[in-house]
Amino acid sequence: MERLHWVRHRCQRLLVGDLGQGWYSLYARHSPQSGSVKRRTVFARHGPHQHECKALSKNYGGNAIRTTKYTLLTFIPVNLFQQFHRVANLYFLFLALLNWIPVVEAFQKEITMIPLLLVLTVTAVKDGLEDYRRYLFDRKVNNTVARVFCGSQKTYIEQFWKDVRVGDFIRLSCNEIIPADMVLLYSSDPRGVCYIETANLDGETNLKQRQVVSGLPPQEEEFTPETFRGRIECENPNNDLSRFRGYIEHSGGVRVGLHSGNLLLRSCTVRNTETVVGIVVYAGHDTKAMMNNSGPRYKRSKLERNLNTDILWCVLFLIIMCLIAAVGHGLWLKDLEESIFQVDTDTPPALAGFYVFWTMIIVLQVMIPISLYVSIEIVKLGQIYFIHNDLDLYSEEQDSRIQCRALNITEDLGQIQYLFSDKTGTLTENKMVFRRCSIYGIEYPHEENARRLEVYESEGGEAAGRSVTLKSGVSGKSLSCRSLSCNRSSVSLHTLADEEEEEEEQLSNHVNTRTSAFSSRMAKEVVPDPELVRKLSCLRSSVLCGSACSPEMLSSQELTSITDFFLALAICNSVVVSSPTQPRHVVPEARTPLRSLEEIKQMFQRLSFSALSPSQNKGSPRSFASRLFIRGKTGSLTFPPTPNATDSPQGGKADLSVLDSPTKEEEVKALEAATWEEDEDFMESKTRPDGDLQATPPTGDEDDAVDNLLYEAESPDEAALVHAARAYRCTLRGRSAEGLVVDLPGIGSLAVQLLHVLPFDSNRKRMSVVVRHPLTGQVVVYSKGADSVIMDLAERPEGVEHSQEMYRHIREQTQKHLDAYAREGLRTLCITKKVLEEGEYEAWLKRHVLAESSIETRDELLLESAQRLETNLTLLGTTGIVDRLQEEVPETIDALQRASIKVWVLTGDKQETAVNITRACKLIKDDDCVLVANCDSKDACATLLEDLKLEVKCGEGSRTDSISSSSHDAAQYILVIDGRTLDWVLQEELQDSFLELSRRCKAVICCRSTPLQKSQVVRLMRDQLGVMTLAVGDGANDVSMIQVADVGVGISGQEGMQAVMSSDFAVSRFKHLRKLLLVHGHWCYSRLTNMVLYFIYKNMMYVNLLFWYQFFCGFSGSTMTNSWVLILFNLIFTSVPPLIYGIMDQNTPPELLTRLPELYHTAQTPKVYAPYMFWITVLDAFYQSLVCFFLPYCAYAGSDVGVLSFGSPINTSALFIILLHQVIESNTLTWIHMVVLLISGGLYFTFVLLFSIICITCNPPTNPLGVETHQMSQAVFYAVCAITTVTALLPRLFLRALHRTLFPATTAAQTDLAATENYRRKMRCWNAKHSGANRVPVCADNPAMEPSVA
């Protein structure tokens, strides 16, 4: 019954429409189970719960997808139903039906159907071809083969994707695409890890790690689906790609939480894993991939909204004309005594006038331009074609061109008034390079590293600084595991040693093609700071020394902070490690330490790693030697289980005592010498004595392995920090779900047990990892994040006054360094640690497990759990990362501001960094006044806004006399506002004050703003000021503001494709906005506005000819031309030239538009498409119609010419006037324009001549036979047409010339200025080329002087 109700509801939706996004979206939104229950229960189809699965599966859809709108049976009715949603089509359908009524019939019944049938047919063919392409794609996808478990055969068999159902077990291999959303139950990787590539969903080519559900049998055993007895309870289908809530209840009743890390999404690709098995939970249109497939974006442009107003005016004119005709016909009949015409005298005049009203509606139907809407769509497609193929908008580095994802707002590009831009990745490269750091309150400037970056800057960074992404330069396709053999892909940290040679041999052909995301040469070649290297060398030598090597300056606390700092940089991330000859998760195991275990024990006992945290000395690993280091080539890397309440009472602790045996003096000296020599070699490998850059040379097989490691990070920040740690020999060598392998300087490889990863989110603004320290065995939390939150979470120790003073000093110095980094424009991150006691960790772990198993409130509970853990953090230090500006950003911003576009920067970075970057962008100039708004309360914010408004008003008044308000170089105000203050000003009480202040400022910089705040700011300016807005960004945090803005632009940069997928236009560089807006936006808007006005003009001009004739035929609705010409005149004969004009016209050359951005503002709505332009067009149409009608009338007055003969020169003159009017309005005339004009005229003459020769009864009651042939044989016909055409067009030519003479437009003046500048530039070049001792230079300021050759 529920299914029946759903089908009925679906049919109702079909009847009322809402098919704009296809059948699949309708299905997804009205799934029968989506509104009735809050959870979905899944059982295995082949197992002990088959009956429950069969009962539940009735409510779940299959895996077949259908993105088509139509079938063979439904195409005609559904397509017609959709097309008649347009009011224009309904209007012409009404006229066609009206003409079938005999008392109001104006033409033959078939003729009035022609315009409507032609438009409907063209649109139906276009829709049918598009839908057929979708059908072919659906068929290909649905018939893809997957291996599905068959209960009767007890094995996996091949089935089509369309036959997969919820509850099926699916077995996949490497490089296979996932057919449905599945919960991962088995992976051939012994760790239960599976890697997937999500490029088909979000465009990101870096691998994502997925984990098998916990509580299942060991992964060494083959998964047997028939023994699976679990029950899955999960949330209903939704489109959130990053969220999955639910739990799996095992046969014993134990529930294990499910999360997004357990879900394999449809359309993703399995990588680096030989075999995986999963159970389907969402299929077909319920999958997240399909629910995110909403089809092309649709926005209504501002021009379309204005066009609706003009169409209403046309309707009003039509009604007025018909009313005049109706009243005139009634009065004519009333005063008629003896008629020489055939008139129905039995009909009362009032009723006859009523009939004539509807007859005139049919006769004057072309007043409403039915072809205008179709023409606009065709023109926009042509404009998009030229934008898409503009080589100036092509990025050779990324091998990408501009993408036009919204097909109907091209003209809005020419009306932008406010531009809202993200900073990182939009204005900057988003290619992060480690610049400097501060540890333990001590700043390390890395001067050699700074000089290295300057070298890259001077070289342009083209070759050296280019980021290498996971794309082929030839094909642009992903080069991940698809090109790699997966025969050994299950080889992991456990089983590498015996198969290294075989792997290298198999993959030798792919060594040169494997690359790493965010791993440019500039990012990898970090030059260490010598002082920091010296201190790390003290760490090595302290193994055998009785004290630190620099007792006067270096303490054990500082060594502890340095070691933990670089360890945090190496492990607090989600970086995937691989090498050119190995899959991403196949990395070397922990190697034999450089020092013996006893030496490491002695060193860390001396260093006392508990110096800053009172709880750090309360834990050590049991079986330290057996658990950490594995000697031998074929040993396996294992991680101990997480301690819990069932472990030993000691919590897994062991004693780390100092060995009694003393170290020989010779061994000490030898070790110190080796250590210093190693450090010197290390530094020399980074820089030559003369300061030139030099890559680190390999010194052996192990060095080769380390140097060839590839890091694939989710963000460039992570990659930069990992490379920085690697520069100090703290190298991340491997990662698995349970642990990591890290090389520490002077120690060697260590296995770090990874307990939990608390990923970064925009609420917490930080990321943390919970690990068991490889040397102390303690549970340690390493965190990194924004200083605005980390500094507040840092502990304030209680106890010894000396410790408090020391920690306070560290905080103060670190804050000073943070502020200095921000002033330099560096991105800053704070690094912290926290040591947990075993009891504290176990208590947190219990609540965290409950949060993970929750369904409805999982995200909230996990956020609370993370916040509970990330408190009382110990500050280790901070990093400064440089992010270079993209090329031509200052020039682009300057051009946009000269075009009267206000540029705002909305960023999540701190205030000092944002201000520094905007100064580098020339958004803030030296003489600009910067207003800072940082408030802690709403009242203080209100007061500050009033003060700032008063300051701005006073400043504007004082500059009025000396500086012109239109001067672009005048000093202006810049408002800088932080996120907390932004919360206050976005409230309704303060919005007006903020709007008034921001309107008076040249630019606004919003710092520390969240994604929600970004969208709120854009919406506020768009709605309250009524301005056209454009938002540009490159990351997922910019999606909300991109979607809110009138025009959204995505940057296809380093942070995936979320912004691009949500945008209307996608470019690869910020500089492309300059030409996209100033050139293509200017052209598109100018073309479409003039084309719309031209359509209104030509339709109104031709309709007026018919209206003037009614004064001479008793307002009877008769016409002086045959009905075929009347219908086809605007539909065919004069419809093509406007299309060519709308696609190809260039009112200003592109070079001039780029050089003079002020032209962009002059072409916007107040200048081109103002209301008065509509009325000027109407008056011109009335004048030309009067000339076109009454000049032939006067020429043929008193003659015996027939009605059709009288109408022939009128139609011909109208054709010439309309076509030549287009020539006058065109700014560009090419051979294409001329060919189209000749074809339009040729079609008209060909049609009327053939019609006059062969047609006898085509236009009853009149007979057109021989009319046109006779008229075109008379000289008076051509004289009348010529005089009429010239007389009609002469005023337009005269007024245009007079206006340009008396009132030279800004465009003309600027054009002359550009010509003068171009002349001066050529003269300077000529003088430089022909300069000599005996030659007088040509005056560049005098165009009259010609260069002469001596």
- Is residue 616 a contact partner of residue 561, using CB atoms and an 8 Å limit? no
HSE of 864 in the Cβ direction (CA atoms, 13 Å)?
Answer: 12
Q: Cα separations (Å) of 33 from 49, 231, 581, 1254? A: 20, 18, 49, 66
Name 835's Cβ contacts closer than 8 Å, sequence gap at least 6.
610, 613, 615, 616, 778, 779, 780, 781, 874
Residues 665 and 1058: their CA atoms lie apart, in Å, by 62
Residues acting as catalytic residues: 422
Rounded to a whole number, what is the largest CA-CA distance in the chain? 140
Q: What are phi and psi of 591, to 5 degrees?
A: -85, 170
Strands, E assignment, 382-468:
403-404, 418-421, 433-439, 442-444
Cis bond before residue 1261 (omega within 30° of 0):
yes
Residues 891 and 843: their CA atoms lie apart, in Å, by 57
Side chain identity, residue 1087: R
- Is residue 641 a contact partner of residue 622, using CB atoms and an 8 Å limit? no
Residue found under tokens 């540029």: 903
Q: What are phi and psi of 394, to 5 degrees?
A: -105, 135
Name 1155's Cβ contacts closer than 8 Å, sequence gap at least 6.
1314, 1317
Side chain identity, residue 1136: V
Q: Cα separations (Å) of 513 from 480, 658, 692? A: 9, 50, 28
Cα first-last separation, the chain? 101
CA dihedral (702, 707, 713, 716) in degrees, to 10, reads 150
In 3D space, the residue among 1027, 839, 1234 whose CA is nearest the CA of residue 416 turns out to be 1027
CA dihedral (449, 453, 455, 459) in degrees, to 10, reads 160
Q: Count other C-beta atoms under 10 Å from residue 192's C-beta.
A: 22
Q: SS3 of 1229, please?
A: coil
- Is residue 1209 a contact partner of residue 1280, using CB atoms and an 8 Å limit? yes
Q: Count other C-beta atoms under 10 Å from residue 434's C-beta.
A: 27
Side chain identity, residue 848: H
Return the DSSP state at 696: P
CA dihedral (750, 756, 759, 763) in degrees, to 10, reads -130
| String of DSSP letters for 1257-1271 | SSSTTS--TTHHHHH
Say how many residues make up the chain.
1350
Q: Count other C-beta atoms under 10 Å from residue 494's C-beta.
A: 18
Alpha carbon 1288 to chain centroid, angstroms: 51
The bridge status of strand 418-421 relative to strand 902-906 is parallel
